Structure 1
Amino acid sequence: MHRSDVLIIGAGPTGLVLALWLSRLGIRVRIIDKTSTPGTTSRALAVQARTLELYRQLDLADAVVKNGHRVAAANFWVKGEPVARLPLNRVGEGLTPYAFLEIYPQDEHERLLIDRLETFGITVERNTELLGFDETGDSITATLRLPDGQQETCQACYLAGCDGARSIVRKALDTGFPGGTYQQIFYVADVQASGPAFNGELHVDLDEADFLAVFPLAGEGRARLIGTVRDERAEHAETLRFEDVSSRAIGHMQVKIEQLNWFSTYRVHHRVANHFRTGRAFLLGDAAHVHSPAGGQGMNTGIGDAINLAWKLAAVLSGGAEARLLATYEAERIAFARKLVATTDRVFTFVTAEGRMADLLRTRLAPFLLPKMASFETSREFLFRTVSQITLNYRGMPLSTGVAGHVHGGDRLPWAHDGEGDNFESLKCPTWQVHVYGDTSDEMIAWCNEHHLPLHVFDWRPAFETAGLGRNGFYLLRPDTYVAIAETCSDPKVIERYFSHHGIRPFFGKS
């Protein structure tokens, strides 16, 4: 019987990233997908700064930035005229090495992940479908339908459902998926076109007519259009063609379509599963949560799920932690998913609301407020922090403790950069490690040496104070670069007690 450590169902970005991280940490994975080929359309587009930071651990960030498109600004249109421009080039400057909005279409993104996964000797098994599974003692027994129609029974220590909004895994677990569906019909079209909205920037129409956003892709004149379909046309969504939806907002924004590469219509859902884990089976990505495309959060959140779960599964499977560590996956990720759905719901409702008052808010109030907001550094920074996911934290969660400087246990470690370098270089290695900014004790140095726990001591510099880091204490960092302990003293017994309390024996992945 075929046996793996983790059986992954679904080879979208979430499943691929989970397979990559686990393989990087020496875990045997098997990844299947019922489709015959990878996606060929640019569904999700934005790769947020936090995702790029984490991608450094697999040497993926540079490839995404090199092959993607950096968006210089967002423009807002009313009545056929651009009324506000929000610069994005350096919107997150000083906060992250990736202080910009990166567009990298999902189909290209998946190909990159598949190529990297193959360097670990792992190939996605296509035309292979999960029929069902049972948990038996210390493993899961799953039944698969193979490409030739034959059935196979296989075993795995754990199963990960990364199989999308219609997840077979979620249905098998009988986990509720509460939420709803927005009434609007959306369309998405990849086009080659020209006009003022095809200058490599993001353009959004706020008019009374159909909502439309133009997302630039790499290459001159390439873009993705996302828009709504209103009035009687929405009643025939299944049979709509591009010609049926392309007249109103597209005309307002002076878009001249030269070639249509792809077109589809869909409805947007907002749902979060009641549980992200049942026994040895986990839900990640769209199988666990779906929400509006507002802010480009969906794919990035799924990738965040994968990285959060990967290091925990690797620790447990390698003997580096007790199985109870896995309970923290749901606690940490479900809270974020619920908050995200609520936030994107508010934005989505404002952008797509119908009626005279909604139109007035969008066409009169928004054009007045947007330039005002864009002129304030604090408002630009707040917007970037929120959308980029660098403020996502696990404060108050079981694995998070302490405060040092402005940094709490559970926070993403702040990025500090000056002429002498930055403090993120050591984070490329997905291991537990300790950071000290200033001085530390001989006891801390000796204890970390004895326990083979990497210790990085940085001479105190103004850049660290600016970033909010505390002086002469320490930060214990998890393998996913979030702060486990923020402490003002330099006593290694604090770390020892933490590991003992949580049943963790630090796991070190292959270098």
Structure 2
Amino acid sequence: MSPGYSVDDLPLIDTEVLIIGAGPTGLMAALVLARRGVPAVVVDRKAGPTRESRALAVQARTMEVYDQLGLAGTVLEKANSALRIQVGGSSRGIGPNLMNLQDGATRFPGIQIFEQSRNEELLVGALTAGGGDIRWRHRLVDLQDKTAEPDGRVEALLEDGEGGLHRVRARWCIGADGAASAVRRELNLPFEGKTDDATFWVADVRDVRGVPDGAVSIRPGKRTFVAVFPLGPGGHVRLLGLAAKDTITQDEALSAVAAEFGLTHGPVEWFSTYRVHHRVSTKFRVGSIFLAGDAAHVHSPVGGQGMNTGLQDAHNLAMLLADVAHNRVDGHALDRYERERRPVALTLVNVTDRAFTVIGRRGPSAGLVRTAFGALAFGFFPLVTRTSLGARLCGYIGQYRIRYHYTATADQTEWARDPVVGLRLPPVADNQRALDTMNWQLHTYGAGKIVRPDVPEWIVGPQEFGDDPHGRLRSDRLYLVRPDHFVAASIPLQGNNVDAAQFSDVLTAHRLVHVGR
């Protein structure tokens, strides 16, 4: 900066939310905020959206989020669907049939193979079409949270691609800038966990023989294992494998797969090696600054969960920030984000870490464990798919069985004892589509006409959707549903009236602002 000038002389960007990082997580947060009428600015040091495919899987719950934003149809049109998970190379198709086991539990059964680059393209298009503000080639230089001061804001210093400096003032900041997050470093937050010792490789390959269309395939072997994700018809796949040594070439990796599993291939479009990290930030929030996506947690890509978890972090956080911005919940509710999303990340990291203990190690003993796993899966999966456990497992894969815990004494609170409280709203009729308006809502299911309780005027309903054919939503309850689809409370009905004391407790627990009270 030239002598005689200060930071205050720099060009100023004033906004409600500053989002650092324009990957899927940051773009999702910006789009949800835009749809909720909250100004946001997204900055990223890249020159534009990612071009590499990177993450692949879009799970059922993420499809529901995309549908709320009017984007699910585009994903379905352009994605390659994986409706089954296969373990081993048997033509018997071992593994859960996701379409069957998820049918009725979600409107989007299966896994959509839709690369990260396409997710970013989709979100950028939707955001810019609505006038969203994305600033490429902008690097974070400094970040300070001054919101505790009178009239204070989060203040950031950015450098653009030409070396020019800009300052940003915002009410909140979201760090969605990846595993090497500059925002997390500015907050001096430990990124706890470990890096796997083994080397892994990934390749996008055409004309692979011996893999099923429309299925994710896991091949455990004595010397290696490989996961196969379908990118398109005719053997166009993503291969993800364990390297036999720390440094491995493309030819060595693909030759090992051909030798052990008989997977021959045609042209290779992309090849890379990496190490798997299992890490979670110690905090997801410090004051008015939040972390989301890979900036907050990283883990194995094998389960196809990472990008989805980041997108759902963003959806959760952006809905919460919008509710606070519009004075629908008070500022203390911001603690909710870390309380709800950090346990999801910890569970995912722990599960993927344990899975890699089974299949992601080198050496003879690890090979024996992998082959034993494959043999057990051969008998286990056909059995489990005929039980309710199979449907539950597929619900966790699809991420629509994630549960939030709202209060420390939930087991003592009647409105929180219903099994659906804390889960995303099970689909019945068009109840999920009703939430396209992104409002808090009151729902009933077979209760008939009931008296509207004393609630804030911006809560929609009660709306009646008829009996739940699966019995998950009860006819003797009034349900409070958050704009992010999650069931906030199940309040007993007394005839056609709600229990007033219970509802008052609900408003307090969720910190809903009721101006008229």
| TM-score with structure 1 setting the length | 0.90
Q: Quick one: distance in 1 between partners of 2:208 and 2:421?
A: 49
Deviation at 1:24? 0.4
Deviation at 1:65? 1.7
Q: Is 2:251 aligned against 1:243?
A: yes
Deviation at 1:37? 2.4
Q: Which residue of 2 aligns with 1:56?
A: 67
Q: Is 2:352 aligned against 1:344?
A: yes
Q: Which residue of 1 aligns with 2:213?
A: 199
1:491 pairs with 475, 498, 505, which one?
A: 498
More divergent stretch after superposition (98-107 vs 450-459):
450-459
Say whether the 8 Å CA contact 2:280–2:345 is kept in structure 1.
yes
User: Given residue 299 of structure 1, which amino acid in structure 2 is its aligned partner?
Assistant: M
Say whether the 8 Å CA contact 2:88–2:374 is kept in structure 1.
no
Q: Is 2:422 aligned against 1:413?
A: no
Partner secondary structure for residue 257 of structure 1: coil
1:479 pairs with 476, 483, 500, which one?
A: 483
1:392 pairs with 390, 402, 409, which one?
A: 402
Q: How does 1:61-210 map to 2 (within 5 A)?
A: 61-77=72-88, 85-86=94-95, 87-136=97-146, 137=149, 138-197=152-211, 199-210=213-224
2:300 pairs with 292, 299, 302, which one?
A: 292
Task: Pick closer, same or farther for the CA change 1:41–1:139 going to 2, 3 Å.
Answer: same
> Once the two structures are superposed, what CA deviation does each residue of 1:128-151 show, in whole Å capped at 9, x if it has no partner?
100111122331110001111111
Deviation at 1:111? 0.4
Partner secondary structure for residue 183 of structure 1: coil
Say whether the 8 Å CA contact 1:294–1:348 is kept in structure 2.
no
Q: Quick one: distance in 1 between partners of 2:194 and 2:326?
A: 40
Q: Is 2:25 aligned against 1:17?
A: no
Q: Is 2:59 aligned against 1:38?
A: no
Partner secondary structure for residue 443 of structure 1: coil
User: Given residue 334 of structure 1, which amino acid in structure 2 is its aligned partner?
Assistant: R
Q: Which residue of 2 aligns with 1:454?
A: 460
- State the number of aligned residues: 491
Deviation at 1:261? 1.2
- Percent identical across equivalent pairs? 33
User: Given residue 478 of structure 2, which amino acid in structure 1 is its aligned partner?
Assistant: F
Q: Which residue of 1 aligns with 2:8?
A: none
Partner secondary structure for residue 452 of structure 2: helix
> Once the two structures are superposed, what CA deviation does each residue of 1:319-357 show, in whole Å capped at 9, x if it has no partner?
222211111111111111111111111112212134444
User: Given residue 218 of structure 1, which amino acid in structure 2 is its aligned partner?
Assistant: G
Q: Is 2:225 aligned against 1:211?
A: yes
Q: Quick one: distance in 2 between partners of 1:249 and 1:320?
A: 55
Task: Pick closer, same or farther for the CA change 1:142–1:365 going to 2, 3 Å.
Answer: closer
Task: Pick closer, same or farther for the CA change 1:220–1:122 going to 2, 3 Å.
Answer: farther
Q: Quick one: distance in 2 between partners of 1:267 and 1:167?
A: 18
User: Given residue 316 of structure 1, which amino acid in structure 2 is its aligned partner?
Assistant: V
Deviation at 1:429? 2.0
Q: Which residue of 2 aligns with 1:470?
A: 474
Partner secondary structure for residue 438 of structure 1: coil
Q: Quick one: distance in 2 between partners of 1:48 and 1:197?
A: 21
Deviation at 1:311? 1.2
Deviation at 1:178? 0.9
Say whether the 8 Å CA contact 2:45–2:137 is kept in structure 1.
yes
More divergent stretch after superposition (147-156 vs 275-284):
147-156
Say whether the 8 Å CA contact 1:47–1:300 is kept in structure 2.
yes
Partner secondary structure for residue 191 of structure 2: coil
Q: How does 1:204-353 map to 2 (within 5 A)?
A: 204-231=218-245, 234=246, 236=247, 240-353=248-361
Say whether the 8 Å CA contact 1:438–1:457 is kept in structure 2.
no
Q: Quick one: distance in 2 between partners of 1:294 and 1:35?
A: 26
Q: Which residue of 2 aligns with 1:374?
A: 382
| TM-score with structure 2 setting the length | 0.89
Q: Which residue of 2 aligns with 1:29?
A: 40
> Once the two structures are superposed, what CA deviation does each residue of 1:455-504 show, in whole Å capped at 9, x if it has no partner?
144364360xx242122211101111111111222426343443355442
Q: Is 2:452 aligned against 1:444?
A: yes
Q: Quick one: distance in 1 between partners of 2:468 and 2:165?
A: 62
Deviation at 1:125? 1.1
Deviation at 1:61? 1.5
User: Given residue 256 of structure 1, which amino acid in structure 2 is its aligned partner?
Assistant: T
Aligned Cα RMSD in Å?
Answer: 2.4
